[in-house]
Structure 1
C-alpha cells in the first residue's frame, strides 16, 4: 500500500530527465511568471537579476542539494526522512507537509482563475485595452460565489487525477508534457513581446544592471524571491528525492533545477517588461500584471487573442507542475505512514484542500468581512502562515538538521555516491549549509514576519 511498485520496491523515476522536469516543474510556478517580473520591475531590473543570480547560488543551490540528498538517503516522505535522521526532528517534516497542504488549498483557487481566463481568452472577452475595465472584470470574478469555486474544483480535480497516477504514470508522464509545452509557449510569447515597437527599453531594463540601484532592499527581495521561487522548505524536493535511484548525480541535478527555474523566470521577464514598456504600463504593477496589465497588452497586439490563449495555458501549465508536487508531499506521507492506498489518500486530501479553498475563494466576496491575522482575509492569512512562517522556518531547520544533526560529511558522502561522483564544491557547500544558509534564511524569516 505504500509508495511501492509491483516488485515491492519504492517507486522510482523512470529516467533522469523525468526527475529533472518534475522537480523543475515543482519549482516553476506562478511566482516565476508574475512575481519575478514584478520584483525585477520594482527593484531596478538588471540590478535585481544580478543579485538574484548570486543568491541563487548561495541559497538556492545549497538548500536544493540538501533536500534532494536527504530524500534520496532516507527513501522516505518529508516526515519519515527527518525521523530517520533523528526522531527528535521529525516535526520539521510535519511543518513541510502542513505548508504543502495549506498552500495548495489557496493556490488551487488562483489556478481556477487561470482556467477562467483561458475560457475568457477563447471567447474574446479579454479583447479590451482599458486596464480599468479589465480590473473590474477581474474583481467581479474573484468576488463571485459560484463561478470561482467551480473553476477551483476543476483545477484541484486535474491535480488529483495526475497524482493518482503515481510517480511514473502520473507525475513524471505529465511533467514530460507540461514542462516542454511550457518552454515552447514561453519562448514564442517572449519572442513576440521582444519584437514589439519600443520593447528594447524593457529588454535593457531587465538585462543591463544599473549598479547604483543595488541596495539592501534589492538584496533582501532577491534573497526572498530565490527562496520562495524554488519551493524550498516544504518537503517537495525531499519527497521527489526519495524516488531517486542511488546512482543519480545529485550535485548536477541540484544545479540544473534552479537554472531551469531561473531561465523560466527570465523568459517571463522578457515577456512582461518589454510588453509593458512598449505600451506604457507600470512595470511594478504587482499581482495585477497577470490578470489586468497583460490582457490589456495582448488586446493591443496583432493576433492578441492567440497570444492571450497561449499565455494563460502557459500559466496553467506552470501552476499545475507546482500543484502536483504540493499534493504529492501530503500524499506521500499518508501513503507511507498510514499505509493507505494512493487513490484514497489523494481523494481525501484533495477534497479537504478543496473545502478550505472554498473559504479562501469566498474571502474576496461573501466572507470578505472575516479577518484572521493582522487584518488579513482568509486567503491572505493562509498565505501569510505558509509563506512567511512555515517555509522560512522549514528552510532554516533543514540547514540545521542536514548541516549539524546529520552532518555535512555524511550528506556529502550520500550526494557524491560514496565518492563515485565528483563534487568539487563539497567543502564550500558544507560552509553554505552550516553557516550562510541559516543566516540568510533567518534574515528572510525576520523580514517576512515584519512584512
Structure 2
C-alpha cells in the first residue's frame, strides 16, 4: 500500500507536522477564554501540570501505536486486538465529522484576513458584521470552499511533498507572528471611561495571577475539567490523527524527544495566545470582552483592533494570518487521517482517495456553512446549549466521541495490552523512557477515571447527577 511508503523525512519534519496538528484555532480563542474565566494563573498551573501527565500519556500512546503498527486508526486497533476494531472505526469517525465544519471556520478566518488586508478593518468592528456574514447564502460558502480546496491540495501532494513541506515553513512563521503580537500587546495602553490608564502589562498580570477568590471544591473541579478538556482537544489525541502521523515516523526517530517537543510547542503557542489576546482585550474592553467561542475572535477582537487606531489594521492582519496557519495545519491533519484510513480500507492511491474525499467535503462544507441561513435549525443539545448544524457536529465529535474513545483506549492499553506495548516502542532504539513509571500509573489508573469524569461532564450527565 502507498501509505507504508510514506514517511516524514526525519524528527524535525514529524514534530513540526504533529505540532501543526495540535496547534489549532482552539489554542487562539478557547485557551485565552478559559484562562480568563478560570482564575488566570490558577488555570495555567493546572493546565501545565496536566500537560506533563494526562496529555503526555494520551499523546505518547497514540504516536507509539502508530509507529509500532504502521497503520492508521482502524488498522492499528485491529492489529492490536481484532475484537477492538470497533474502537478504530469509532476513532476514524471523529475526523470524518470534524472535517465537515473545520474548513467552514477556516473560511470565516480567511474572510476576516481579506477584510483587513483590503483596508476594511472598520467594517469588521461593526456590531452585526459577523452575524451578517455567516448568514449570507453566498460569501461564507465561497471562503469555506476555498479553504477546503487548499487543504485538499496539500494532502494530495503527500506526506513529504505536501504536509511536511508546508509545515516546515508555516509553523516557524506562525510562532514568530504569535511572539510579535504577544510582545506588542504588552506595550498597549488606554484611558478608560473612568479616566484610568490601563496597560497591557496589567492585562498580562491579570492573565498570570492566580485568582483564588470564591474558590470552592466544586469550582476547582470545574477548572480542572476545563483544563483537561482544553488539553484533550488541543493535542489532537483520541481522534486517530496522531496514530496516523505516528505511522509515518521512521524507526530511528527518538519518540521521547519528539513527544517532549510537541508538548512544548503546543503549550508554548497556547500560552502565547493568551499573552497576545488577554492583555489587548483587557486594555480596551476589560474583562467583559472575554467572550467564549466565535464571539472572542470575530466580535471582541475586531473591536479591540479598531480601538488601537492605525496600528490595529496591521495587528489584525498579523492575527488573522496567524489564525489561518493554525487552522490550516489542523485541517490538513484531519483530512490526512481520513485519507490514510480510506487508503488502507479501499486499497486506493492517495491521489484518487483525496479527489473523492475533496468532492465529499466540498459539498459537506457548503451544507454546514448554509446551516446559518438556508438550512438554519435550532437543536437543544444534551449539555443544555442550543446549536446549529456546525454545533451539532462539534458536540457529537468533541464532547461525546473523543472522551469516550480516550476512555476505551486507556482501558485497552492499560489493561488488555498492558503498558509495555507502548513502553517497548518508546524504548525501541535503546532510548531511556524517563517518564515510564508515570506512564504506567497514568494509563492504568488515573487516565481512565479522568476520562470517565470528563465524558460525564462534557455530555451534561455530570451536571444532571449533581
Q: What's the TM-score once normalised by structure 1's chain length?
A: 0.95
After superposition, the C-alpha distances for 1:364-384 in whole angstroms (9 at most, x for unaligned) are: 112223648555321111111
Distance 2:354 2:123 in 1: 40
Secondary structure of 2:210's partner? coil
Partner of 2:358: 350
Question: Where do 5+ consecutive residues of structure 1 fail to align?
Answer: 5-9
Which sits farther off after the overlay, 221-230 or 293-302?
A: 293-302
1:304-315 to structure 2, matched below 5 A, reads 304-315=312-323
Q: Is the 8 A contact 1:96 1:235 kept in 2?
A: yes
Partner of 1:435: 445
Question: Where do 5+ consecutive residues of structure 2 fail to align?
Answer: 190-198, 462-466
Deviation at 1:209, TM superposition (A): 2.1
Distance 2:65 2:103 in 1: 28
1:181 aligns with 2:164: no
What is the aligned length?
Answer: 442
1:408 aligns with 2:419: yes
Partner of 2:376: 368
Partner of 1:7: none
Q: What's the TM-score once normalised by structure 2's chain length?
A: 0.92
Distance 1:320 1:67 in 2: 22
1:276-291 to structure 2, matched below 5 A, reads 276-281=281-286, 282-287=288-293, 288-291=295-298
Match among 55, 73, 77 for residue 78 of structure 1? 73
Distance 2:226 2:381 in 1: 23
1:224 aligns with 2:234: no
1:293 aligns with 2:300: yes
Partner of 2:207: 206
Measured on the aligned residues, the alpha-carbon RMSD in Å equals 1.6
1:92-171 to structure 2, matched below 5 A, reads 92-127=87-122, 133=126, 135-171=127-163
After superposition, the C-alpha distances for 1:73-113 in whole angstroms (9 at most, x for unaligned) are: 00011111101101111121212221101112111101000
Distance 2:3 2:421 in 1: 26
Partner of 2:196: none
Q: Is the 8 A contact 2:290 2:300 kept in 1?
A: no
Distance 1:343 1:169 in 2: 13
Distance 2:397 2:10 in 1: 32
Deviation at 1:321, TM superposition (A): 0.6
Secondary structure of 1:268's partner? helix
Deviation at 1:315, TM superposition (A): 0.1
Secondary structure of 1:144's partner? coil
1:369-384 to structure 2, matched below 5 A, reads 369=377, 371=379, 373=381, 376-384=387-395
Secondary structure of 1:303's partner? helix
Partner of 2:51: 56
1:89 aligns with 2:81: no
